[in-house]
Amino acid sequence: MCHPAVMIAFTAPQAGAQYVGQEKQSKATFDHLKEKQRQTIATGADAARHQWQGVNNRMAESAEAANLDVRNATKKYMEASASARTSSAAGNVSGQSVADVTQQFSQRFADYQASRMQNLNWDQQQLLATSRGIQAQYRGRIEGSMFAP
């Protein structure tokens, strides 16, 4: 049997080497996880940015389409209204029937405009909800990549 001092002399350097090796392995694992987390967050940020850009583009396109629709309807309303007034003047028609037709054109236009703006509002609300979903997904990616060192 070996003397305890000799055993300590042999095992102490071995234990020290194991400790140094474990410490290096632990640091390498930590560095790898930290880099993986950084990459996950960067990829998530890029994905969220592209999704938000798409939502913002869709919102702008939706608003522009609604405005174009209302402008076109306004033009048609003005043309139809002018045509009705011209026709009634040319036929010497006046009075309540002309006022009724003009009022009817005006009401239809107002109804269309209100309906189109309501549809735009619904589109915008849906796109805002999509944007909130993108934010939640991004937060989930970040939280999912977290680790406790």
Predicted TM-score of the model (pTM): 0.66
Q: Which residue has the higher pLDDT, 4 or 123?
A: 123
Cβ count within 10 A of residue 138:
18
Cβ count within 10 A of residue 38:
11
Report residue 54's pLDDT band, with 50, 70 and 90 as the boundaries. Answer: very high
State residue 106's pLDDT score.
85
Range in 17-21, 35-39, 75-79, 106-110 the model is least confident about: 17-21
Residue 148: both structure tokens together: 């406790």
- Given a contact cutoff of 8 angstroms between Cβ atoms, the answer to whether 112 and 23 are in contact is no
State residue 22's pLDDT score.
81
Convert the pLDDT of each residue in 70-87 to its tens digit: 999 999 888 887 887 777
d(CA 14, CA 70): 83
State residue 118's pLDDT score.
96
Report residue 24's pLDDT band, with 50, 70 and 90 as the boundaries. Answer: confident
Convert the pLDDT of each residue in 106-129 to its tens digit: 898 899 999 999 999 999 999 999
State residue 95's pLDDT score.
65
Q: Where is 55: in which H helix or E strand?
A: helix 4-90
- Given a contact cutoff of 8 angstroms between Cβ atoms, the answer to whether 106 and 78 are in contact is no
Q: Residue 36: CB partners within 8 Å, gap ≥ 6? A: 145
Q: Residue 77: CB partners within 8 Å, gap ≥ 6? A: 105, 106, 108, 109
State residue 149's pLDDT score.
60
d(CA 22, CA 35): 20
